Amino acid sequence: MHFLDQPPRHLFFTGKGGVGKTSIACATAVQLAAAGKRVLLVSTDPASNVGQVFGEHIGNQITAIPAVPKLSALEIDPQAAAQAYRDRIVGPVRGVLPDAVVKGIEEQLSGACTTEIAAFDEFTALLVNATLTADYEHIVFDTAPTGHTIRLLQLPGAWSGFLEAGKGDASCLGPLAGLEKQRTQYQAAVAALADPQRTRLVLVARAQRATLHEVARTHHELAAIGLTQQYLVINGVLSLETTEHDPLAVAIQQREQSALAAMPQTLQALPCDQIALKPFNLVGLAALRQLLTTTIPSNDAEAINLPTQLDAPALSSLVDAIAVDGHGLVMLMGKGGVGKTTLAAAIAVDLALRGLPVHLTTSDPAAHLAETLEGSLPNLIVSRIDPHAETERYRKHILNTKGARLDAEGRALLEEDLRSPCTEEIAVFQAFSRIIREAGKQFVIMDTAPTGHTLLLLDATGAYHRDVTRQMGATSLHYTTPMMQLQDPKQTKVLIATLAETTPVLEAANLQTDLRRAGIEPWAWIINNSVAAAQPTSALLRQRAYNELPEIQQVATRHAQRYAVVPLLQQEPVGINRLRDLGGHRHRDGEVEGGATASRAENSIDTSPLYGNT
């Protein structure tokens, strides 16, 4: 493995949820310890299962792993760290400032940025405090800080004064309040991360087009702030010899090879390793020792007990219930790589084929809805919002209004705040808000929706929602803001998309919690690309399918009010006929002819700003 050649002291593994970061980090730690090195394994992953992997209770203290001499582990709980961090900042002002102000501060500190910075606050000492880690030759980190977090920590130390003076509204600067005391330590930590003699960053991805483009963006973001010593690991690659003439396995193998051949050039230049897809769950020492090997264990396909047919609702059952209303807003939410765009297109096609008017819209720059549809339908309008254009418009508006009153330092901080992920979500939501109004007379299917945290920011700062409320008066019932519409289950149905794997399910559950805090109750979950629902015949895929069953059961019984399972298809769901198949309807009304791109496809929607100071 290239990433293990002459490894420096610090190894960071980063990537999207579900790509296998934790398993690879654990396997790396085991291999280094087996080579006689003293190793500390540190996880900052909110979905960390390091303790489960080793069969040990670890928690937030350094714990020796008895089964692996020279290996110790530490699980930093980011949520607990974030709560302690919030308490340190909010505690002194509680009871001093008005409750509304305190609530606003708490909301600023409720999002992903706070969790990242609080976790960084926890493990910074492990990078720079020689006394704490003197006993270890290698420290392996599961989940590195994002480029955005590191860039924020490099800012001049003027966050608290900037916020206290009321110059900055809620976004990503809030979590940075009160950090000046740790600035020297942070600067040393960032320097350690950027030093290739001390740190190696390993980008973990899967052999999927969307995932590879996502990790390419991460590569650029980290390289731009000096973290250039990067390696690439493609995890879970299906090898030809394991396909066993299974049509599904053969199709997946060919699809993966096509994605790897079309990998972005920036990734092709990185040292790269491929790890073969394994049939077993990566729990226990024996499994970890096999992960980084090229040997693929053989299994008897017939010995794996799978149900003849998965007893789970199809996507069509959800569309049946959606169609009853005749109109409304349907929002697809979920982490990157779970197939939101395809699912949104499938729902839109199914509704349009029923004769219902549908507007399908996305803000995903990689969505390419026209290519996904490969045809037109009489009742279907397609549009694409350009997130870069909308964000730039929003940035200019804020800088020309709020920024005009700031000095040079304040304006620099505001500009940094406006480069945060929250800014893009807010800007895109403004564009979506114009389209949302159409849901009173037709279906609006929205792909790539804002997260619950962003919606809370929009509501907590009061820029639009509360302004309208004040203007209309408490007794008036003749207005509806976008936020109110999203909170009304009669007008909006939120569908959470996920995969039947441990980390994606946990991330989807966290998203659901976030949405509920914003007063939005998800209507259904969709488990996409299920191997168990595809009835594979190869031993490897049958074992993978068997491993999915507990996750599907977890969604069905614990997380979702209603749900559907969409099978992994041999052919990518491109074109109207395949999209309809995805929903479980097998050409009930004959074939749909592919033709010109759906009307107004891929057009940027011209939207005017709705939120002045969010």
Question: What does the pLDDT read at residue 107?
Answer: 67
CA–CA gap between residue 169 and residue 423 (Å, rounded): 11
φ/ψ (deg, to 5) at 378? -60, -35
Span 101-120, mean pLDDT? Answer: 71
Does residue 471 have a pLDDT over 70?
no
Q: What is the 3-state secondary structure (H, E, C) of 422-446?
A: HHHHHHHHHHHHHHHHHHHCCEEEE
Q: Report pLDDT digits (tens) over 363-388.
A: 765 556 666 676 678 899 988 888 88
Among this protein's residues, is 14 annotated catalytic? no
User: Which residues are registered as beta bridge partners of 381?
Assistant: 359, 599
- Which pLDDT band holds residue 592 (cuts at 50, 70, 90)? very low
Among this protein's residues, is 300 annotated catalytic? no
Mean pLDDT of the chain: 79
Question: What does the pLDDT read at residue 603?
Answer: 36
* Strands across the sheet containing 39-43: 63-64, 71-75, 39-43, 138-142, 10-14, 199-206, 230-237, 272-276
Cβ atoms within 10 A of the Cβ of 197, count?
Answer: 9
- Which pLDDT band holds residue 96 (cuts at 50, 70, 90)? confident
Is the CB of residue 420 less than 8 Å from the CB of residue 466?
Answer: no
Catalytic residue among 15, 16, 22, 243: 22
Span 86-113, mean pLDDT? Answer: 75
Span 206-212, mean pLDDT? Answer: 87
Q: Which amino acid would we find at residue 369? A: L
CA–CA gap between residue 17 and residue 21 (Å, rounded): 8
Pairing of strands 492-499, 328-333: parallel
Task: Average the pLDDT over each of 44-48, 93-97, 462-466, 529-533 and give the range with the smallest value.
Answer: 462-466
CA–CA gap between residue 370 and residue 598 (Å, rounded): 7
- Which pLDDT band holds residue 186 (cuts at 50, 70, 90)? confident
Does residue 347 have a pLDDT over 80?
yes
Among this protein's residues, is 441 annotated catalytic? no
Of the CA atoms within 13 Å of residue 507, those in its CB half-sphere come to 23
List Cα–Cα distances, 312 to 11, 419, 561, 563, in angstroms.
41, 42, 13, 8
Question: Residues of the chain with pLDDT > 90: what percent?
Answer: 33
Question: What does the pLDDT read at residue 341?
Answer: 86
Question: What does the pLDDT read at residue 173?
Answer: 52
Does residue 289 have a pLDDT over 60?
yes
CA–CA gap between residue 602 and residue 588 (Å, rounded): 29
Residue 243 CA, chain-centre distance (Å), reads: 30
Catalytic residue among 376, 383, 503, 530: 503
Question: What does the pLDDT read at residue 85?
Answer: 76
CA–CA gap between residue 436 and residue 433 (Å, rounded): 5
Does residue 549 have a pLDDT over 90?
yes
Question: What does the pLDDT read at residue 464?
Answer: 42
Please count the residues of the chain: 614
Cβ atoms within 10 A of the Cβ of 339, count?
Answer: 23
Helix, strand, coil percentages, rounded to 5, for the chain = 50, 15, 40
Whose CA is closest to 552, among 532, 524, 536? 532
Domains, the chain? 2-292 (3.40.50.300), 315-582 (3.40.50.300)
Which bin fits 584, alpha (ψ -120 to 50), beta or left (φ > 0)? left
Among this protein's residues, is 21 annotated catalytic? yes
Q: Which residue's structure tokens are 């040393």?
A: 188
Task: Average the pLDDT over each of 228-237, 456-465, 499-508, 590-599 and give the range with the smallest value.
Answer: 590-599
Does residue 266 have a pLDDT over 70?
yes
Catalytic residue among 14, 15, 16, 20: 20
Question: What does the pLDDT read at residue 608?
Answer: 32
Among this protein's residues, is 18 annotated catalytic? yes
Span 29-57, mean pLDDT? Answer: 85
Catalytic residue among 44, 45, 452, 530: 45
For the whole model, what pTM was predicted? 0.77
DSSP, residue by residue, 535-591: ---SHHHHHHHHHHHHHHHHIIIII-SSEEEEEPPSS---SHHHHHHHTT---TT-P
CA–CA gap between residue 458 and residue 554 (Å, rounded): 32
Span 471-482, mean pLDDT? Answer: 53
Does residue 218 have a pLDDT over 70?
yes
Which residues, 6 or more positions from 417, have their beta carbon under 8 angstroms from its beta carbon?
A: 168, 171, 172, 173, 423
Catalytic residue among 17, 18, 236, 375: 18
Residue with the bigger pLDDT between 557 and 75: it is 557
Residue 228 CA, chain-centre distance (Å), reads: 23
Span 507-513, mean pLDDT? Answer: 88
Residue with the bigger pLDDT between 53 and 24: it is 24
Question: What does the pLDDT read at residue 51?
Answer: 79
Catalytic residue among 16, 21, 70, 167: 21
Among this protein's residues, is 503 annotated catalytic? yes
Question: What does the pLDDT read at residue 124?
Answer: 77
Catalytic residue among 15, 16, 17, 23: 23
Pairing of strands 39-43, 63-64: unpaired
Q: Ranked by mean pLDDT, which of 116-120, 128-132, 506-510 comes out on top?
A: 506-510
Span 41-55, mean pLDDT? Answer: 76
Structure tokens at 97: 């400032």
